[in-house]
A and B are shown apart, each in its own frame.
Chain A
Amino acid sequence: MATVRFTRNIQRHVECPTREVTGSTLRAVLDHYFQENEKARGYVLDEQGRVRQHMVVFIDGEMVRDRDGLSDAVEPHSMIDVIQALSGG
């Protein structure tokens, strides 16, 4: 199963513990995670199911390419990091 970790900053608003979930695409993995934590979905994805503009997701250290469709492949033991797209300041 893939492991999903979230930025510390999101925890102030909604608890997002690190969890192992199944799925062979990013969409499937995040859907499985959010099924158990529906409130967190809207903090990461917008209502059209896309990664929010200033959020970014890495799979095994690689930034995901398909931010709208979330079709990027996930390996059985992938590490997925959901973080804020911070830049300077």
Chain B
Amino acid sequence: MSDRCYVSTRKGLFTVDRGASKWSISRVMFVGDNVTLTMHDPRNGNLLAALNHGHFGIKVHRSTDGAETWQEIAVPQYPPLPEGYTPKPHPFTGKPLDWALKLIWGLTPGGSDQPGVVWCGTMPGGLFKSENNGESWELNRPLWDDPKREDWGPNGAEFPGIHSICVDPRDSRHVSVAISTGGVWITRDGGKSWGPGGSGMRADYFPEEQMGDNNVQDVHCLAQCAANPEVFWVQHHNGIFRSTDGAASWTEIKDVKPSVFGFPVAIHPRKPDTAWFVPSTKDEKRCPTDGRVVVNRTEDGGKTFETLRRGLPQEYAYDLVYRHGLDVDETGNRLVFGSTTGSLWISEDGGDSWQTISSNLPPIYAVRFANS
């Protein structure tokens, strides 16, 4: 059970701890700085925080003492363009892709048998790997050099990006990543070779002929069940999809109220049929339906959903929750989510009820429990 979570915001990184009777903020670091994502590494307790300084670029800081002190470490860097090579302009932007780091969008520890390994997903679409806890990073060339990678599309930002990285607990060489916009890509040999995920997702914003192509799927978030890694859940631009065969095929979950649109998904670590979503009105509006913040939970693999609202604002609330803004702890009982309007909620009963930790934080980009 986790008694701590880390909240990455537009104006700093907050540590939230469970005291004897309640959760409260215990520390803020990087005050005023844009902390876009923080990873807690259960293998050694390390924290890696990604900062975006705007003018001064993207930086990575590491703490080895539970967020008390931090050291700036290496940042993933794109390699020089090969001689005579010009990146292919994407038809959406008409511009060649810039080989320069724009955002760190995914940070995931490697497997328990790979001490020091950290995977890092980025905009504009590069996947990086560190084998020394972030001391240095290397672009995964097999995925980057795949000709289909050049067709990945921009999302809300101007570039494609890798945001979800799932390391199979049975085999650390089996890694599944999700791209907005580029579907799901899978390696089974530690990144030496990659292939696209299976069919079944649907991009209804594309012409019919291309609607089922993995490469055009706008996956908002991909999650894998720790106890049954054959099961994946996806929150997609179009809705919710589930795979029970290791991402070889996907089934769409339809007719979910109040909406199938949203960004994050969290999956119960032991119960593959249980997952949580934070719905919002699709898709130009992107705010809670009717001004009510709710969490949707299924416990039967998507056949039915329960809309959870106890403790959450039910009028005039316009909180949007980003793809890294929801997390579940290692027990499956504790959940945390945070919003663009700086509200933070925690549940200790699987989402049945929620405590408001703050309504006054900066815009929240990511929340992560410190799991053991």
Contacts and interface: CB of A to CB of B under 8 A. Distances in A.
Interface of A: 9-10, 13, 39, 42-44, 46-48, 50, 52, 54-55, 84-85
Contacts of A44: 56
B249 to A, nearest CB: 38
Given A39-B72, A47-B100, A52 B80 contact: no
B193 to A, nearest CB: 26
B80 A54 contact: no
Nearest to A48: B100
B82 interface: no
A73 B55 CA distance: 24
A13 B53 contact: yes
B56 to A, nearest CB: 4
Interface of B: 53-57, 59, 72, 75, 77-81, 99-101
A21 to B, nearest CB: 21
Contacts of B55: 9, 52, 54-55, 84-85
B56 A47 contact: no
B54 A47 contact: no
Contacts of B81: 48
Contacts of A85: 55
Nearest to A84: B55
A39 B56 CA distance: 12
Nearest to A46: B100
Contacts of A10: 56
A84 B101 CA distance: 19
B78 A47 contact: yes
A47 B77 contact: yes
Given A48-B78, A48-B99, A48-B100, A43 B72 contact: no
Contacts of A47: 77-79, 99-101
B184 to A, nearest CB: 27
Contacts of B72: 39
B56 A52 contact: yes
Contacts of B57: 42-43, 46, 52
A42 B54 CA distance: 12
24 contacts: A9-B55, A10-B56, A13-B53, A13-B56, A13-B59, A42-B57, A42-B59, A42-B75, A43-B53, A43-B57, A44-B56, A46-B100, A46-B101, A47-B79, A47-B100, A47-B101, A48-B80, A48-B81, A48-B99, A48-B100, A50-B100, A54-B54, A55-B56, A84-B55
Contacts of B53: 13, 43
A13 B75 CA distance: 15
Nearest to B58: A42
B237 to A, nearest CB: 28
Residue among A44, A46, A50, A54 facing the most chain B CB atoms (10 A cut-off)? A46
Contacts of A84: 55
A16 B56 CA distance: 13
A13 B71 CA distance: 11
B263 to A, nearest CB: 26
B346 to A, nearest CB: 32
B201 to A, nearest CB: 33
A47 B78 CA distance: 6
B83 to A, nearest CB: 14
A37 to B, nearest CB: 13
Contacts of A13: 53, 56, 59
B13 to A, nearest CB: 15
Contacts of A48: 78, 80-81, 99-100
